[in-house]
Structure 1
Amino acid sequence: MEPSELRRAVEAGRATASESGLRVDDAVVVHNSDRVALRLAPCDVLARVAPSGHLADSEFEVAVAGRLADVDAPVAGLDPRVDPRVHVRDGFAISLWTYYEPVESPIAPADYADVLLRHHAALRRIALQAPHVTDRVAAALREVNDREKSPELPDSDRQLLSGTLSGLGVAIGVEDARDQLLHGEAHPGNVLNTTRGPLFVDLATCCRGPVEFDLAHAPEEVGTHYAGADHGLIDRCRALNWAMFSAWRWRRDDHMPDRDSWRVEGLHRVRAALDRCGLG
């Protein structure tokens, strides 16, 4: 968020927690992109604050968290002292979560695979309507194919992304026998190492598809520790993931920090992943 919007988001998060009966003397920005994560003290709450246009996503995330808490999934939970819902204030959607003190050591690949296996097992135990991976691919493809939405995307790169999204999207879609609920973006930024062990955060990306789609977001070594994984499918999903990532970065209204650098890096990663699949 831009500084002026960020200030409003911080104040909305503070006020929401205070009105919920929690003591808030300080707020520290933990993460800032299209949504903001705030650590509120001394109540030790993580407030997730999004523009109200993301209200449906925030409500979906809270619903996912509630169902996963019932099956003891390895995920960050909502703060138990307040109602498990999304608050709307000053143009923002705010949800209040338990704050977990992070452990600075990295998560070993075997431990990463173990927590992902346990998370997938928990996801198989809940009933939830969620979009398919191919729905997200289709949304990215629309951005790429609409020159008004991605006016700065060079024609050769537009062709690369369009072909990758359409071709691999269809290929992943025919793997429906392997489909189940997924985290959706199980990359290291969404796995918090805590004193309670690794926990997944950012649950709004939950979708349906093959487990290899989640594995493609994780470091490559993780797949070797995940029993039964199709490594060829992981490679194809990795190319697809980078193509979607690149599609979002080339949107005219994308606000990711260092966007220009990630535009270049994203296209490089797409080509490298396609080469690895023999599709370059």
Structure 2
Amino acid sequence: MEAGELRRAIEAGRAAASESGLQINDVVVIHNSDRVALRLVPCDVLARVAPSGYLADSEFEVEVAHRLAAVDAPVAELDPRVAPRVHVRDAFAISFWTYYEPVGSQIAPADYADALMRHHAALRQIDLGAPHVSDRVAVALSKVNDPEQSPELPDADRRFLSDTLGGLSAALTVDRADDQLLHGEPHPGNLLNTRRGPLFVDLATCCRGPIEFDLAHAPDEVGQHCPGADHDLIHRCRALNWAMFSAWRWRRDDRMPDREHWRAVGLNQVRTALDRCGLG
């Protein structure tokens, strides 16, 4: 979020927390993107604040967290002092989570893989309606193919992203026999190293697809610790992930700070990933 919207998001999070009976003397911005994560002190709660257009996503995330907590998944939990729901205030959707003090050491690839496999096992235990990966790609493709929704996307890059999204998505719909519920975006920024061990956050991206789609978000070495993973598919999914990331950055209403930088990074990463799997 840009500075003005960020200030309003902070005030909305503070006000909703106070109304829920939490004590707040200070607010620390932990992460700022199209949504923000705020540490509220001294109550030590993490508030996730999103524009009201993300209300459905926020409600879905709370539902996923509630169900996964019941099967001991390695995920961050909702704060037990606040009702497990999304609070709406001043055009923002706000949810309250347990704050986990980070542990300084880096998560080793084997531990990362273990956490992801345990997360996948937990996801297999819950019954949840979630979109398929290809449905998420279709949304990204609709933004790319509509100049009104992505007016600053150059024509050559529009064709490039459209062909990449369409071609790689088609490959994921050929055989869905091994598809299951996934985290959706288990990249290093969404895996906390805590005293409880590695815990996944940002559960609103939960979707259905092959486990390789999740592995494509993790560092390369993680896949080496997952027996049976299709490494060619991981590489293709990595290119697909970057193509979707790029599609979001070119949206007219994208709120990510410094998006001009990330637009260039995204397109370069798509080309690098396509070269790596021989599709450049």
* Secondary structure at the counterpart of residue 229 of structure 1: coil
Q: TM-score, with normalisation over the residues of structure 2?
A: 0.98
4+ residue segments displaced more than 3 Å: none
Once residues 119 and 132 of structure 1 are traced to their aligned partners in structure 2, the CA distance between those partners, rounded to angstroms, is 18
- 1:216-227 alignment, distance < 5 Å: 216-227=216-227
Residue 272 of structure 1: aligned partner:
272
- 1:182 aligns with 182
Deviation (angstroms), 1:94: 0.8
Distance of 2:68 and 2:148 partners within structure 1: 40
1:36-85 C-alpha deviation (Å, 9 max, x unpaired): 11100111000111111111111000000000000000000000111111
Partner SS state of residue 178, structure 1: coil
CA distance in 2, matches of 1:89, 1:205: 23
Counterpart of 1:126? 126
CA RMSD of aligned residues (A): 1.0
The answer to which of 156-165 and 109-118 deviates more is: 156-165
Are 2:249 and 2:259, in contact at CA under 8 Å, matched by a contact in 1?
yes
What does residue 58 of structure 1 align with? 58
Deviation at 1:30, TM superposition (A): 0.8
Match of 2:195 in 1: 195
Q: What TM-score do you get using the length of structure 1 for normalisation?
A: 0.98
- Whole-Å Cα distance in 2 between the matches of residues 11 and 257 of structure 1? 19
Partner of 2:213: 213
The structural deviation recorded for 1:188 is: 0.5
Q: Is the 8 A contact 2:2 2:257 kept in 1?
A: no
Comparing 10-19 with 92-101, which one deviates more in the overlay? 10-19
Contact 1:37 1:48 in 2 (8 A): yes
Corresponding residue for 1:18? 18
Matches within 5 A, 1:98-247: 98-247=98-247
SS at match of 2:177: helix
> What letter matches 1:261 in structure 2?
H
Distance in 2, matches of 1:5 and 1:160, equals 33
Paired with 1:3 and 1:163, the residues of 2 have a C-alpha distance of 35
Gaps of 5+ in 2: none
Instruction: Report whether the alignment pairs 1:84 with 2:84.
Output: yes
Deviation string 1:171-222 (CA, Å, 9 cap, x unpaired) is 0112311100000001001001111111000000000000000000001111
Shift in Å at residue 4 of structure 1? 2.2
